[in-house]
Amino acid sequence: EAGVAQSPRYKIIEKRQSVAFWCNPISGHATLYWYQQILGQGPKLLIQFQNNGVVDDSQLPKDRFSAERLKGVDSTLKIQPAKLEDSAVYLCASSLNRAGFSGNTIYFGEGSWLTVV
Amino acid sequence: AQKVTQAQTEISVVEKEDVTLDCVYETRDTTYYLFWYKQPPSGELVFLIRRNSFDEQNEISGRYSWNFQKSTSSFNFTITASQVVDSAVYFCALVRGSGGGADGLTFGKGTHLIIQP
């Protein structure tokens, strides 16, 4: 079974530029998450989708970050304009259904490493 | 609000020693799920175990074992006869049992485990 796919793996941009990350979850997984992991810290949830609807985006900096999952499968996370503090790994994850229902396991991709200079 | 504390930032042991990684959590929910993930240098978070709040049985899987104690809000992870391949950052995480709200994982800051040959 294919895992969670993410691209690009690495990206270096200058501050104020824009960047987009793509995620393809495990086939059949209804729930999709984007996490931000700053070096030396644990991942922090940015946004959670259930199919193509947003469940939680309370920690997403909406003035510069946006995310969509138009057809309930692939998702894109965009940052515009980027700031130095956005340098982090952006992890996409998916689960069959919501993790709070019977503790569905959340599977993670390898992440997209962003450096803003 | 939920919180996960991993007080050990870094642990270094010699190969074949046993090592325990501590995890203490805070939650007001009566139904919740606890997870452990392993993050090797490649960056992908690898699922190790899921435990629900109603199951306090300890679990053993090969060299790995987990001790869940609700009385002390702890979910500790022990590696027996450690190996160099166990070197990684380990994260403990918590998710609330879904009552319709957001149920993304809340992570601790991680413990960097170094196994020296």
Is the confidence at residue B12, as pLDDT, over 90? yes
Mean pLDDT in residue range B50-68: 90
Cβ A41–B101 below 8 Å, yes or no?
no
Q: Give the distance from residue B2's alpha carbon to the nearest chain A alpha carbon, in angstroms.
A: 13
Rounded Cα gap, residues A63 and A33, in angstroms = 19
Q: Per the structure block, which two tokens stand in for B58? A: 């300890």
**So what's the pLDDT on residue A35?**
97
Q: Give the model confidence (pLDDT) of A12-68 as tens digits.
A: 999 999 999 999 999 999 999 999 999 989 999 999 999 989 999 999 999 999 999
> Could you say which of B45, B98, B107 has the minimum Cβ distance to residue A100?
B98
Helix, strand, or coil (residue B86): helix
Residue B99 pLDDT more than 90?
A: no
Residues from B contacting A (CB-CB < 8 Å) are: 4, 33, 35, 37, 42-47, 50, 52, 91, 93, 95-99, 101-110
Torsion on CA atoms B74, B105, A109, A56, rounded to nearest 10: 180
List of residues 6+ apart from B48 with CB closer than 8 A: B35, B36, B37, B38, B64, B77, B90
Distance from CA of A110 to the nearest CA of B (A): 4
Of A41, A109, A111, the CB nearest to B109: A41
> Is the confidence at residue A98, as pLDDT, over 90?
no
Which of A56, A89, A109 has the CB atom closest to B104's CB atom?
Answer: A56
Tell me the average pLDDT across B61-79.
95
pLDDT band at A70 (very low <50, low <70, confident <90, very high): confident
B50: chain A residues, CB-CB within 8 Å: 103, 105
**pLDDT at site B98:** 67
3-state secondary structure A40-67: CCCCEEEEEEECCEEEECCCCCCCCEEE
| Coil, strand or helix at B114 | strand
Mutate to test the interface with A, among B6, B10, B45, B92 (most CBs of A within 10 A): B45
Specify the 3-state DSSP secondary structure of A113. strand
* Contact residues for A116 (Cβ-Cβ < 8 A; gap 6+): A12, A13, A14, A15, A82, A83, A84, A85, A86, A87
From first CA to last CA, the distance across chain B in angstroms is 41
Report helix, strand or coil for B85.
helix
Each residue of B17-26: pLDDT tens digit? Answer: 999 999 999 9
Are A100 and B91 an interchain contact pair (Cβ–Cβ within 8 Å)?
Answer: no
- Convert A78-107 to b/e letters by CB count within 10 Å (16 or more is b): ebeebeeebbbbbbbbbbbebbbeebbebb
Question: Minimal Cα–Cα distance from A29 to chain B, Å?
Answer: 15
Query: For residue A24, what is the enclosing H or E element?
Result: strand A19-24
The reported pLDDT for the residue numbered B100 is 61
